[in-house]
Every structure is written in structure tokens, then in C-alpha cells.
């Protein structure tokens, strides 16, 4: 016999909302923020669909062998938990993303829909950003502008959940330097101690200043030598 009376399970709080709302570029980071509170509340099975919704109505057999239909308390508990997750997801996405899933009724449906919409976009974005990072050249940019551009790309990658470690970032920066910076590249590559990004920035800035000074000084000297040779 199934009892028709049961107290609802208290809902575990999911904690504060995520700091990075879901966009087309940060799905990986967003997912990394969303999963821990849901897992911690022991609701992951509902989110991923492995815990299906139980029957809403139960048929019980009474002592006199007659049958009676009653509401299933397990369904009420499941529904409350599912809607708690659903509200958490809705509050963690941007307005544009919400518009794509607002009509879906369960957290599992929303989870699958968001993955289908944003995972491929996020992966493509990460690939594009890493290509930018590996191909960007300093060229005529100042050291400050060059480093800021590289850092902006790295920040976007971090926002997509793919942080670039300092040693890899240094390799990208060195690769983008022109041949006139070979002494710096050789020095850093030959150094046995790990150099920080700030130290590399300082070295490149100092070297750039030295190059500019030599360039400014060589102009008049070269011109005087050329004039003397002409007069001779």
C-alpha cells in the first residue's frame, strides 16, 4: 500500500547567482560556475535528466481492496526541486539567451537547449582567439599597445573558461616580436628562471626605448657622414 501523506523534502539553497551570465562567448566559464551549487544541493540528476519526473498521480489499493487515485508526494518534491533549478538557470543567462529557452518547462530541457545553442559557438570562439594570440605581431605598435592587445585576447579566453598560463602567454608574446627584438627573445629563452609577464614587459619597454634612442641618434650622424662623403 502506498501512503498518500508525505512531508515535502526541504529545498537546499543553491547559493548566490553566478557572476558571469551566459553569452555566446562564455559557455564553458558559465557552466563551470553553474554546476557546483547544483551538484552541492544534490540536484545534478534532475538537471541532467537522469532523475526523471515520477508519476503525478498514484493508484492505491485500500484495505477494502478498492482503488483510489491520489497525488504523488514524490512528484511534488521533484517538481519543486526542478523549478528551483530552472529559476537558477533563468537568472544566470542574459536576456537574449533567456528568450530562446523561456518557454521550456523543465531544467533538463533548458540545460540541453543551452548546450546545443552555445557550446559550439563558444568552442569556435576559443579557437579563433587562440589563433589571434598565436599570429598577432607587434609590427608598428608600441610595446604598451601590443601587450594590451595580447592581454585583451587572453582575458577573453579566460572569460570562455580557457585561461592562458603565463609561460604560454610569454611564448606568444615573444613569437609576435620582430627580428630586431631577437636579443630579448634569445635572453628570455635562454633564462633558466621563469620570467613573469610584468618582467617581460619591463624588459621589452626598456629595449624599445633603447632602440628609439639609437634610431634618433643615428639619423643626424648618418646624415653628417653622408654629407661629408658627398663633399669628399
Q: What would the pLDDT profile of 38-87 be if each residue is shown by its tens digit?
A: 999 999 999 999 999 999 999 888 877 788 889 999 999 999 999 999 99
Domain presence at residue 2: no
Range of the domain at 76: 17-122
For the ranges 15-19, 72-76, 154-158, the lowest mean pLDDT is seen at 15-19
| Predicted pLDDT at 91 | 93
Same domain flag for 103 and 200: no
Judged against a pLDDT cut of 70, whether residue 224 lies above it is answered with: no
Average pLDDT over residues 5-32: 73
Q: C-alpha grid cell for residue 138? A: 607587434
Q: Is the pTM of this model over 0.85?
A: no
Same domain flag for 75 and 103: yes
Same domain flag for 114 and 163: no
Same domain flag for 32 and 114: yes
List alpha helices for 91-189, DSSP H.
95-101, 107-135, 143-159, 166-175, 182-189
Same domain flag for 147 and 195: yes
Angle in degrees, CA 214, 215, 221, rounded to 5: 85
Same domain flag for 96 and 50: yes
> Is the Cβ–Cβ distance between 103 and 109 less than 8 Å?
no
Domain presence at residue 32: yes
Q: C-alpha grid cell for residue 219? A: 639619423
Residues contacting 44, CB < 8 A, separation 6+: 35, 38
* pLDDT class of 153 with cuts at 50, 70, 90: very high
Domain presence at residue 129: no
pLDDT, mean over the chain: 85
* pLDDT class of 10 with cuts at 50, 70, 90: low
Question: What is the rounded end-to-end Cα distance, in angstroms, of the chain?
Answer: 118
> Is the Cβ–Cβ distance between 4 and 71 less than 8 Å?
yes
Same domain flag for 47 and 111: yes
What burial class does residue 81 get, using C-beta atoms within 10 Å of its C-beta: 0-12 exposed, 13-18 middle, 19+ buried? buried
Judged against a pLDDT cut of 50, whether residue 5 lies above it is answered with: no
Select from 75, 99, 122 the last residue of a domain.
Answer: 122
| Predicted pLDDT at 168 | 94
Domain presence at residue 156: yes
Amino acid at each position: 500500500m502506498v501512503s498518500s501523506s508525505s512531508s515535502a523534502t526541504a529545498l537546499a539553497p543553491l547559493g548566490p547567482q553566478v557572476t558571469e551570465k551566459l553569452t555566446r562567448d562564455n559557455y564553458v566559464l558559465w557552466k563551470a560556475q553553474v554546476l557546483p551549487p547544483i551538484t552541492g544541493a544534490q540536484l545534478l540528476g534532475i538537471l541532467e535528466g537522469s532523475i526523471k519526473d515520477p508519476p503525478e498521480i498514484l493508484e492505491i489499493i485500500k484495505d477494502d481492496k478498492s482503488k483510489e487515485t491520489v497525488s504523488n508526494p514524490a512528484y511534488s518534491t521533484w517538481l519543486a526541486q526542478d523549478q528551483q533549478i530552472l529559476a537558477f538557470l533563468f537568472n544566470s543567462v542574459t536576456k537574449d539567451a533567456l528568450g530562446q529557452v523561456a518557454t521550456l518547462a523543465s531544467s533538463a530541457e533548458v540545460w540541453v537547449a543551452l548546450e546545443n545553442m552555445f557550446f559550439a559557438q563558444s568552442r569556435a570562439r576559443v579557437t579563433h582567439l587562440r589563433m589571434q594570440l598565436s599570429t598577432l605581431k607587434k609590427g608598428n605598435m608600441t610595446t604598451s599597445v601590443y601587450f594590451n592587445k595580447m592581454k585583451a585576447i587572453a582575458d577573453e579566453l579566460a572569460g570562455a573558461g580557457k585561461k592562458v598560463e603565463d609561460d604560454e602567454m610569454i611564448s606568444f608574446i615573444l613569437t609576435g616580436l620582430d627580428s630586431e627584438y631577437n636579443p630579448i627573445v634569445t635572453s628570455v629563452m635562454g633564462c633558466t628562471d621563469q620570467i613573469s609577464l610584468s618582467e617581460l614587459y619591463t624588459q621589452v619597454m626598456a629595449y624599445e626605448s633603447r632602440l628609439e634612442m639609437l634610431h634618433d641618434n643615428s639619423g643626424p650622424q648618418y646624415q653628417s657622414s653622408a654629407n661629408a662623403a658627398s663633399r669628399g
